[in-house]
Amino acid sequence: VNANYIDGFQRANAYIGTQGPLPCTFDAFWRMIWEQGVAIIVMITNLVERGRRKCDMYWPKEGTEIYGLIQVKLIKEDILAMYTVRTLSILHSKTKRKKHGFNERL
């Protein structure tokens, strides 16, 4: 995963900036989300812009997808005028620990 920490206003390494993952790096991307305790994913591009693919869909369109040891479930999707909010939950298959409240915003 091509990613870097980004300092926030009040603390260092407050954010992680990364390019949209490729299908061959989906497992590593979700492992990073799990290991780093990421709570919100903000995607600032569309999947396709001006006829060109900009990013692959790294979340399940519906239901659940498994990426390596991480199971990602789409809980709900709210399509608004200017962006979409997706609520996801992730489950680590070895520890069986679940994390909720992952929002993805376009």
| Domain boundaries, given as residue ranges, for the chain | 3-92
Question: b vs e for 48-75, b when ≥16 Cβ sit within 10 Å of the residue's Cβ?
Answer: eeeeeeebeebbbeeeebebeebbbbbe
The predicted structure's pLDDT at residue 101 = 64
Token digits of residue 27? 């497992």
- Quick: pLDDT tens for 54-72: 999 999 999 999 999 999 9
- pLDDT reported for residue 103: 65
Higher pLDDT, 65 or 103: 65
φ, ψ (nearest 5 deg) of residue 33: -55, -45
Q: Which of 15-29, 69-83, 92-106 has the lowest mean pLDDT?
A: 92-106
CB 86 within 8 A of CB 59: yes
